[in-house]
């Protein structure tokens, strides 16, 4: 093969590789330690059974509760601390409400504590 054939072949391989990887290169992913579904709950002093179910995915979240309250919106990790805790800013109600919540992430990556409530990662 002549030199110019090799050059064309190499350029073709590079072009095909870039085209094949283009979707991966252009999609911004924000996977973080919160990505996934988390559930917590219990029974309060009056005997009322409650739960909360958070689903965090790529900067968006949903919250379902044992009552008729639910939320959906966006989130971002606003601040990180040396002890592993984070401040998460969530925006909901069509952007009208912003709330910051403290989350403690311990040694077990499948357990977080959200403002004193333990949430377990659902698998």
Least confident range of 14-18, 77-81, 108-112, 115-119? 14-18
Tell if the pTM clears 0.75, that is, is over it: no
In a domain, 6, yes or no: no
In a domain, 54, yes or no: yes
In a domain, 88, yes or no: yes
Domain that includes residue 46, residue range: 36-122
Token couple for 68 = 């008729």
Domain count, the chain: 1
Token couple for 115 = 């403002």
In a domain, 115, yes or no: yes
In a domain, 51, yes or no: yes
Q: Kindly indicate the confidence band of residue 69, based on its pLDDT and cuts at 50, 70 and 90.
A: very high
In terms of Cα–Cα distance, which of 118, 122, 117, 109 is closest to 32?
A: 109
């Amino acid at each position: 093969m002549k030199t110019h054939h090799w050059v064309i072949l190499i350029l073709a391989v590079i072009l095909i590789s870039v085209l094949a990887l283009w979707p991966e290169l252009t999609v911004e992913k924000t996977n973080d330690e919160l990505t996934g579904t988390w559930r917590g709950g219990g029974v309060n002093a009056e005997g009322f059974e409650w739960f909360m179910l958070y689903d965090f995915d790529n900067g968006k979240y949903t919250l379902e509760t044992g009552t008729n309250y639910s939320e959906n919106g966006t989130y971002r990790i606003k601040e990180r601390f040396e002890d592993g805790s984070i401040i998460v800013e969530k925006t909901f109600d069509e952007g009208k409400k912003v709330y910051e919540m403290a989350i403690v992430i311990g040694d077990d990556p499948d357990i977080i504590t959200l403002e004193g409530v333990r949430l377990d990662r659902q698998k």
